[in-house]
Amino acid sequence: MGEPGAIGRVKLAEDIESLWDLECEFNNTDHRTELNGVEQLIVRRGQPFTINLHLLVCFNGSYSIPVPFSPPCLLPGPQPSDQYGTRASFGLTDQIDTSRWSAAVTSPPGYMVSLSICSPPDAPIGRWRLTLGQGGLVEFVLLYNPWCTGDVVYMDSEEKLAEYVLAQDGIIYRGSWKYLIPTPWNFGQFEDGILEACLRILEMNPKCLRNPGKDASGRKNPIYVSRVLSAMVNCNDDKGVLLGRWTDDYDGGVSPLSWKGSVEILRNWDTNACQPVRFGQCWVFAAVACSVSRALGIPCRVVTNYNSAHDTNSNLVIERYVDENGQLVQKSRDMIWNYHCWVENWMTRPDLKPGYDGWQAMDPTPQEKSEGVYCCGPIPLKAIKEGELTYKYDAPFVFAEVNADVHTFMKRKDGSTEKIISSVQVGLKISTKSVGSDRREDITHLYKYPEGSDEEREAFTKANHQNKLLQQQTNAGLLIAIKVSAEMKKGCDFDVFAVVTNNTPNGKKCRLVFGSRAVSYNGILGENCGFKDLLNVELAPGEEKRVPLRMNYSKYAENLTEDNLIRLGALLLDYGTQEAYLAVRNVVLENPEIKVRILGEPKENRKLVAEITLQNPLPVPLQNCCFTVEGSNLTGGQIITEKLNSTVEPGQDAKVKIYFTPTHSGQRKLVVDFDSNKLCHVKGYRNVIIGK
């Protein structure tokens, strides 16, 4: 058997022998897969590719060359099957037919025959084997083709295709809806070995292991493949890629914040017998799913939903409980995550009525089971926006993430509970990276209508979201809100404020409890960072009071999680009416900036130097300082690590120089992570334009 991409010998008939050439460089470039390398043939469905046969005798055009194809995975399993559409046999025709498997000679008679071969635009993706004549066997990889109008993943914009299929790096949004943090990520879908890992994910999924032929046939459909990826990026039911961990205990693995890209994760999984990589959280699950989708040819983007509801009982209501000090009590599995990331894949939905093509939400983070498996989606964004909760797949869960109602109750010491007045919205500032730039694109309008609009009410009616429909806007007599300082940098002391307003014509006497606790991004509460209890707050009619709470680094430093989040809660109790009012706000402490300076002229295959600097913003020294750097087509598919041997004192710079050699022209991101004993996993990046 000839190695793919090499020259091999094949006997076409009793008296004709030839040498074949897969023309990998030409074909891969033509099919926009050359960044995977040119050692093997990687083509897209619905588009012709060329194989050249160098004959040992002259070809006069009179010979018929039979060309049978067979596509199953090269793992143990059944033979290619006509039943499942994973086998096709055909001969030469006068010209290529792009709607089915076909082959045609495109060269004049002579000692070289150019054979043009085309797959249908709905062929199953994956590894294929092509048999030429009486013994020649060629292996190649077939991918989805979003450039082909007949493919269900077709996208009609070159700019969007460059972003959602070809871009190897991007931005993922974290932080809070009041302070969005753009985090760089190296998707690396074309790095060495990544496509092999992605194909192995398909081959290791339980459906393939149970019935390889049926699974191979299913791969013609990106709906099916997206659902497989949603399940296989987590390892809850299978030999999936990532194990989730939402505590501070990362023994046996690394913090999810330590990852800068998908390449190391996918390689670790592939080279360690498909053992799950430890550990991931939502943005890591989403980023890996994006890398795999793009590698297979499905346009994909990572999105972030701020104040994301996790509704465990499908009633579209999140119930939260506080004690008499205003501290949240974990009584329900329902949660509001500070943010939650998932992906959107682009495809048509012929299984639904017209109008639901385009972006489909798909979530690989294991939260709730769908059809007995931890997966979610794909579900059209339009179905979420219109309240069509019967549409496949998992519409109620995603609808709740962006639309759930929040009810807050006070649990008293005697065991009784009462509802308190609180204004909390979910589904805010749904964000993704813009096409062709690092700016943020707000896509909230793709998921929901403007609040209070007739269209929103109609969607809620379809979704039977009675809680929202019954809500009436009331002007409360007392208002409470939380205001913060302009700058809240990690390492600094700063003030936050509870602002209380009396809109009644009468004087008010109240109790104000103002507290703060460390919190993880998914809503798990930590230790106290500051607390104030004022038993006698008197408010004249129309009066507003600002009550400060000092946040001292010495108090919050040891309690913060790696998310740098503090939850502020202000509970106001009206002694006269016994009504309670609650305001909650999460604040993000700002990390210092990583500065990256490129020394030298960036060109292909020319060594460059990056000078990377971070100033210690803390009032304490930093020890065990380490910079790690990676970038697609910049660092050779590897992670570069530079450790500092010395301690970095307060106000001093941590500085290193890192050497790397770009391999391809174009704009690339050099992604940087800084870690130390007191300042953990600070992210930064620099766009580098590489010349030829």
- For 303-347, the pLDDT digits (tens) are 999 999 998 777 888 888 888 888 777 666 778 999 999 999 999
User: Lowest-pLDDT range, 38-47, 52-61, 424-433, 658-667?
Assistant: 52-61
Predicted pLDDT at 468: 60
Helix (H) / strand (E) containing 287: helix 282-296
In the structure encoding, which two tokens stand for residue 437, read together? 């730039």
- The tens digit of pLDDT for each residue in 202-220 reads 999 999 999 988 999 999 9
Residue 272 marked as a ligand binder = no
Predicted pLDDT at 59: 58
Q: Region 498-502: what's the mean pLDDT?
A: 97
pLDDT at 81 over 90: no
Q: Indicate which residue of 215, 363, 563, 675 is catalytic.
A: 363
Higher pLDDT: 674 or 66? It is: 674
- The tens digit of pLDDT for each residue in 389-443 reads 999 999 999 999 999 888 888 888 888 888 888 888 899 999 999 999 999 999 9
Q: How confident is the model at residue 8 (pLDDT cuts 50, 70, 90)?
A: very low
pLDDT at 16 over 70: no
pLDDT at 288 over 80: yes
Q: Region 650-661: what's the mean pLDDT?
A: 98
CA distance 189 to 410: 49
CA distance 263 to 276: 14
Predicted pLDDT at 86: 78
Any catalytic annotation for residue 680?
A: no
pLDDT at 134 over 80: no
Q: Region 553-560: what's the mean pLDDT?
A: 96
Predicted pLDDT at 135: 57
DSSP string for residues in 625-649: -EEEEE-TTTSTTS-EEEE-SS-B-
Q: Region 550-574: what's the mean pLDDT?
A: 95
- The tens digit of pLDDT for each residue in 147-174 reads 999 999 999 999 999 999 999 999 999 9
Residue 451 marked as a ligand binder = yes
User: Lowest-pLDDT range, 1-10, 32-41, 221-230?
Assistant: 1-10
Higher pLDDT: 104 or 112? It is: 104
Single pTM value for the model: 0.93
Question: How many Å is the Cα radius of gyration of the chain?
Answer: 29
* Nearest C-alpha neighbor of 501 from the set 528, 483, 489: 483
User: Lowest-pLDDT range, 106-110, 423-427, 652-656?
Assistant: 106-110
Predicted pLDDT at 329: 79
Predicted pLDDT at 470: 57
Any catalytic annotation for residue 237?
A: no
Predicted pLDDT at 61: 55
pLDDT at 11 over 60: no
- The tens digit of pLDDT for each residue in 443-492 reads 999 999 998 888 988 898 888 875 565 554 455 689 999 999 989 999 99
Higher pLDDT: 395 or 523? It is: 395
Q: Indicate which residue of 208, 235, 282, 300 is catalytic.
A: 282
- The tens digit of pLDDT for each residue in 580-620 reads 999 999 999 999 999 999 999 999 999 999 999 999 999 99
Q: Indicate which residue of 31, 310, 340, 465 is catalytic.
A: 340
What's phi and psi for 586, nearest 5 deg? -95, 135
Any catalytic annotation for residue 282?
A: yes
Residue 405 marked as a ligand binder = yes
CA distance 101 to 117: 7
Q: Region 565-578: what's the mean pLDDT?
A: 95
User: For the chain, what percent of residues have pLDDT higher than 70?
Assistant: 91
Q: Region 265-280: what's the mean pLDDT?
A: 97
List CB contacts of 516: < 8 A, sequence separation 6 or more. Answer: 496, 528, 529, 530, 531, 549, 551, 556, 566, 567, 568, 569
